[in-house]
Structure 1
C-alpha cells in the first residue's frame, strides 16, 4: 500500500484521475460576450434616424441661404422691363405743356413701369406721366411730371414731405425733401408743371436721374 502511494506522488504531471491530458477548463478571466438585445439594436437605429432628422432643418437653411445669395448675384432674374415710349408719346401729344422726360440714362437704369392718364384727357385737361426705374444698385427710382399739383402721383410723394433745402443739378435748382416714408424726393416747379424724382434709390442715383431730365423731342 505504501509503495503504491509513493509511485502516485512521483507522477510529474500530478495526474490523479483518468481522462485526456490535452483538455483545459475555460479561463474564468475571459467573460463571454453577451448577445445584443433587439431593444438595443432598435435604440441604435432610432438614434441614427434622430440625428438625420435633427440635421435636416440645418441643411434646408443652408440651401436657402445659398439660393438667396445666387439670386442676389443675378440681378436680372425676375426683372421685367418695359418700353415707356408709347406712354411718353401719348403724354406728349395730349399735354398742354412741354413734356420733360429722363434722357440718356445708361443701361443700368431699367424702366419697369410707365403710365399716363393722357388717354382720358380732353383738350386743356392736365396730363400726368409716370415712369418707374430699377437703378444700377437694384433700388427704385420714380419719375413724375404733371401740370396738376394735386395729381395722385405727385401728392403721394410731396404731401407731408419735409423740405431739406435745395441742390443744383445741371444748372437748375431742385428742392430736396424727405417723404413720409423716409425716402428722398428731388423736385421743381415751373409754369405750373411739377417734375419730381423719388424712391428708395440713393441720393446719388436720384441726382443722376434728375440731371438727365430734358424736353421730349420725339
Structure 2
C-alpha cells in the first residue's frame, strides 16, 4: 500500500503547480475576464467619431464627381463652328438677297456651315447650309438656295406631305412632313427657297425659322 501511494504521488499528473488551485482552474477553462462597460463605450465612440469625420469628405468627393459629369456630359463630342466665312462667301456670290437665321439664343449652337459658292460662276445658283444643335440637344438645319433642285432641298422636300402653313415673324411658312417623318418648314419667294428641318421639335424649328432674315453683312 505504501509503495503504491508513493508512486501515485510521484506521477507528474497528480502534482499541482505553485499558486492557488483556483487560479489554475481558470486558466484551464480559457475564460476571459469581461471587458469593462466604460471601455466598450469608448470603443463605440471612437468608431462613431471616425464615421462622422469621414462623412463630409465622402460627400465632397461625390459632389465633385457629379459636377464634373454635369459639365462634361451634354457637350461630349459637340464641335461648334463659326459660320461667318461661309455666309459671307455665299452673300458675295449669290445673285439674290441671302437669308440667314439671326439673333438666335446662344443655346442654339452652330455645328456646321457650308456653301457651294466657292465653285459658282456669275449667275450660277448658290446654296447655303447651316446646322444647329438646339437647347434640347436635337438637330435643326437651315438651307437657302435659288435652285429648287439643289440636293439639300430636294432631299427634304421631295415626297414631303404638306400639312398647312404657319405665320412666323410676319412670314408665311409651309409646314410639311418629310418621308423620314420630320417636320419641314419652308417658304419660297422670287425663286429663292428657305428651309428649316431636322429632328428638333416643332417649337425649336419654328424658333429658327422665325429668326430667318436678310443678311446685312
> TM-score, normalised on structure 1?
0.68
Distance 1:73 1:125, change over 3 A: same
State the match for 1:111 in structure 2: 110
In the TM superposition, residue 108 of structure 1 has moved relative to its aligned partner by: 0.3
State the match for 2:133 in structure 1: 134
Q: Structure 1, residues 38-67: CA drift from partner, whole Å, max 9, x if none?
A: xxxxxxxxxxxxxxxxxxxxxxxxxxxx99
Query: 3-state DSSP class of the match of 1:104?
Result: coil
In the TM superposition, residue 77 of structure 1 has moved relative to its aligned partner by: 2.2
State the match for 1:31 in structure 2: none
After superposition, residues 1-218 of structure 1 pair within 5 angstroms as 70=69, 74-218=73-217
Q: Structure 1, residues 101-128: CA drift from partner, whole Å, max 9, x if none?
A: 0000010001010000001111111000
State the match for 1:38 in structure 2: none
Is the CA contact (8 Å cut-off) linking 1:71 and 1:77 kept in structure 2? no
Query: 3-state DSSP class of the match of 2:125?
Result: coil
Distance 2:103 2:13 in 1: 110
Query: 3-state DSSP class of the match of 1:91?
Result: helix
In the TM superposition, residue 172 of structure 1 has moved relative to its aligned partner by: 1.1
Is the CA contact (8 Å cut-off) linking 1:91 and 1:99 kept in structure 2? yes
Q: Structure 1, residues 106-155: CA drift from partner, whole Å, max 9, x if none?
A: 10001010000001111111000000000011000000000000000000
Is the CA contact (8 Å cut-off) linking 1:99 and 1:215 kept in structure 2? yes
Is the CA contact (8 Å cut-off) linking 1:88 and 1:129 kept in structure 2? yes
Distance 2:211 2:80 in 1: 19
Distance 2:105 2:12 in 1: 105
Distance 1:72 1:21 in 2: 80
**Structure 1: which 5+ residue stretches go unaligned?**
1-18, 23-65
In the TM superposition, residue 176 of structure 1 has moved relative to its aligned partner by: 0.5
Distance 2:135 2:100 in 1: 19
In the TM superposition, residue 72 of structure 1 has moved relative to its aligned partner by: 9.2
Distance 2:170 2:89 in 1: 29
Distance 1:194 1:180 in 2: 19
In the TM superposition, residue 76 of structure 1 has moved relative to its aligned partner by: 2.1
In the TM superposition, residue 20 of structure 1 has moved relative to its aligned partner by: 10
Aligned length: 167
Is the CA contact (8 Å cut-off) linking 1:133 and 1:140 kept in structure 2? yes
